C-alpha cells in the first residue's frame, strides 16, 4: 500500500509555544490530505481537510487560527498548533488520499503532542 | 450527516476462534466502507474495504460483508492470532472524501 510519514513522531512543548507537524506522502502525490485528532481510547475526529493549493476546510468547532494547515505541495501538508495549551495534548494523525484507482485513504503513524 | 455505530466496544476471543465486529451507518449516499486496524501508539492501517456494489469481500483470514438495505457491514476474522489484538475501526463515506469513523472495537486474542 501507499506510505504516509509524519514528523515528528512525538513532541513535548511548553504552554504558549507553537509546534509544527509534517505529513508526507512518500510514494504518491496527494491532492487531498486529512488531519485527525485522537484522544486516549477514543475514535479519530476529523479536524480539517487539506487540499493542495487552496485553503483548508475546518470542521465545526476547530479553530482555524489555532490549527494552521498548509498544503504547499502534492506530497506535504503541515499542521501548526499555535499557542499550545495542555488541552491540546493529543495524538494527531494525518491521512492522504491516493488519487488513482479506488482513492483509498492511508494514514500516517501519528504524532504524540504533549504540552506542559 | 453520516453517523456510524460499532459493536461491540470490546471483544475477547481465544486464539484460533473467529471474531466478528458489526457497524451500522445512516447515510444511504455512503458507498465506501473501509476497516482499519490500529495498534497502540500507531496510526490506523487499512486492512480491507468494500464498496456498495459488492456484498462480500475476502482477503485470507479477513472478510467483510455489506448489507446496503439494512445499512450495516461486518468484519470477520477467522483463526485469530495474538497479533490480531488491536483496536479496529470501521468507517463509512465516499472514496477520496472524508470518512466518518465508528468508535472502535478493542479486540483481545487470548493465547
Buried b (16+ CB within 10 A) or exposed e, A84-107: beeebbbbbbbbbbbeeeeebbbb
B2 — pLDDT class (breaks 50, 70, 90): confident
Query: Cell triple for residue B49?
Result: 474495504
Distance of CA A60 to the CA centre of its chain: 16
Please give the Cα distance from B61 to B70 (Å, whole number).
25
Instruction: Report chain A residues whose CB lies below 8 A from the CB of B40.
Output: none
Instruction: Report chain B residues whose CB lies below 8 A from the CB of A1.
Output: 46
Residues 6+ apart with CB under 8 A from A58: A47, A48, A64, A67
Please give the Cα distance from B100 to A44 (Å, whole number).
9
Q: Are B2 and B59 in contact (CB under 8 A)?
A: no
Interface check B99 vs A, CB under 8 A = yes
Interface check B102 vs A, CB under 8 A = yes
Q: Which of A17-21, A73-77, A89-93, B13-17 has the lowest mean pLDDT?
A: A73-77
DSSP label of B97: S
If we measure between CA atoms, which residue out of B57, B44, B55, B41 comes closest to residue A1? B44
Q: Which of 22-81 (A) contact B at CB < 8 A? A: 32, 34, 42-44, 46, 49
Quote the pLDDT of residue A101.
Answer: 61
Could B96 and A97 be called an inter-chain contact, meaning their C-beta atoms sit closer than 8 Å? yes
A1 — pLDDT class (breaks 50, 70, 90): low
Residue that is written with C-alpha cell 476547530 in the block: A62
pLDDT, tens digit, for every residue of B86-99?
999 999 987 767 78
Residue that is written with C-alpha cell 499542521 in the block: A79
Please give the Cα distance from B2 to B86 (Å, whole number).
25
Distance of CA B103 to the CA centre of its chain: 11
Amino acid at each position: 500500500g501507499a506510505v504516509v510519514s509524519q514528523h515528528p513522531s512525538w513532541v513535548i512543548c511548553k504552554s504558549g509555544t507553537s509546534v509544527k507537524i509534517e505529513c508526507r506522502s512518500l510514494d504518491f502525490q496527494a491532492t487531498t490530505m486529512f488531519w485527525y485528532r485522537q484522544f486516549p481510547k477514543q475514535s479519530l475526529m476529523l479536524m480539517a481537510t487539506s487540499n493542495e493549493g487552496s485553503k483548508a476546510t475546518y470542521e465545526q468547532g476547530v479553530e482555524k487560527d489555532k490549527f494552521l494547515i498548509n498544503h504547499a505541495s502534492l506530497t506535504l501538508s503541515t499542521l501548526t498548533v499555535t499557542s499550545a495549551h495542555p488541552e491540546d495534548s493529543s495524538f494527531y494523525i494525518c491521512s492522504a488520499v491516493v488519487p488513482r484507482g479506488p482513492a483509498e485513504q492511508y494514514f500516517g503513524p501519528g504524532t504524540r503532542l504533549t504540552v506542559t | 450527516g453520516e453517523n456510524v455505530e460499532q459493536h461491540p466496544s470490546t471483544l475477547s476471543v481465544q486464539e484460533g476462534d473467529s471474531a466478528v465486529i458489526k457497524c451500522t451507518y445512516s447515510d444511504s449516499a455512503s458507498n465506501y466502507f473501509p476497516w482499519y486496524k490500529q495498534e497502540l501508539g500507531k496510526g490506523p492501517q487499512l486492512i480491507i474495504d468494500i464498496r456498495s456494489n459488492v456484498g462480500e469481500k475476502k482477503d485470507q483470514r479477513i472478510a467483510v460483508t455489506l448489507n446496503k438495505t439494512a445499512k450495516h457491514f461486518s468484519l470477520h476474522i477467522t483463526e485469530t492470532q495474538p497479533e490480531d489484538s488491536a483496536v479496529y475501526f470501521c468507517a463509512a463515506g465516499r472514496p477520496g472524501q472524508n470518512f466518518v469513523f465508528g468508535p472502535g472495537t478493542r479486540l483481545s486474542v487470548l493465547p
